[in-house]
Amino acid sequence: MKIVILDAYTCNPGDLSWDKMKEFGEVVVYDRTAKEDTITRIADAEVVITNKTLINKEVLEACKSIKFIVVLAAGYDVVDFKNAKELGIKVSNCPAYGSKGVAQMAFAHILEITNNVGAHCQSVKEGQWVINDDWCYWKKPIIDLNGKKLGIIGYGNIGREVAAIARAFSMEVLAYDVFADITDAKKCTLDEIFANADIITLHCPFTPETKHLICKENIAKMKKGIIIINASRGPLVNESDLTDAVKSGHVYACGVDVITLEPPTEMTDYLKCENINVTPHIAWASVDSRSNIINIAYGNIKAYTNGEDKNVVNK
């Protein structure tokens, strides 16, 4: 069996190993794959492993030998999984590999906004404490989380981990989810979260229904001074609308780990805006989380070789 990994570098830039995959046969590893090279590289592969390299209908129909695809992520929209099903190709993902890590990043953004550790540290490095007239100073307000209402949109594995951290800070948790059974938080509608939350954090998938969930119309429903966190998918946010809301002061600040176009091709107002903190889609990327991804991918392939389904998303 031939296994081809199309974009290995992001998940494993060299600090982990793909060797366990060799148990199943020949393994060909590419650090990155350009769109025009995809078909050539997987034309004779039985198993394809991808992270963000697109496998669309054209690719699937051109590569007759593919039987199984593993997406090195929880989201699997990089694969045309519906067309794959029609062609008899199973697609699997790697769920819940890093829920705690993503929750940690969401709170890293929350804490940076409320405590401004980076800005204050930088000011000390620049010598501002040395010349200060008082024994302490602060560049921006320090905001307590105790008693604040955290609205979690998307109450799956990650949303629940975020809620657990929020409770440790004595926050009140408001939760919305289309599918999840919410029993350990205050179940709310979207409009109830928009109206009542002090901080909103997004942990829902990107679908046609959730596209631009954060937009001018919904921001208008929120409290003045709202904080918004997005560690899910970039297109959940209308970036122009959110930038305007931050500049106007209606939105106090944002912390985002994802944007609509990744990587960006230019420095937009959204990326440059002073009160929008942006990290380069790294919430998932701890060594532990990336190791979990490889282990889950291995388990998916092992199940496939045994004629079983594990984490198959297009049954």
| Selected catalytic residue, list 120, 160, 203, 233 | 233
Residue 170: is it exposed, middle or buried by C-beta count within 10 angstroms (0-12/13-18/19+)? exposed
| Selected catalytic residue, list 262, 266, 274, 290 | 262
Q: Is 250 a catalytic residue?
A: no
Q: Is 281 a catalytic residue?
A: yes
Residue 211 CA, distance from chain mean position: 15
What's the N-to-C CA distance of the chain in angstroms?
22
Phi-psi region at 14: left, alpha or beta (left = phi > 0; alpha = psi -120 to 50): left
| Selected catalytic residue, list 41, 120, 281, 290 | 281
In terms of Cα–Cα distance, which of 304, 236, 279 is closest to 107? 279
Which residues are 3's β-sheet partners? 27, 47
Q: Please enumerate in sequence order all residues whose Cβ is within 8 A of that of 133, keeping only pairs 6 or more positions apart, or say none.
A: none
Residues annotated as part of the active site: 233, 262, 281
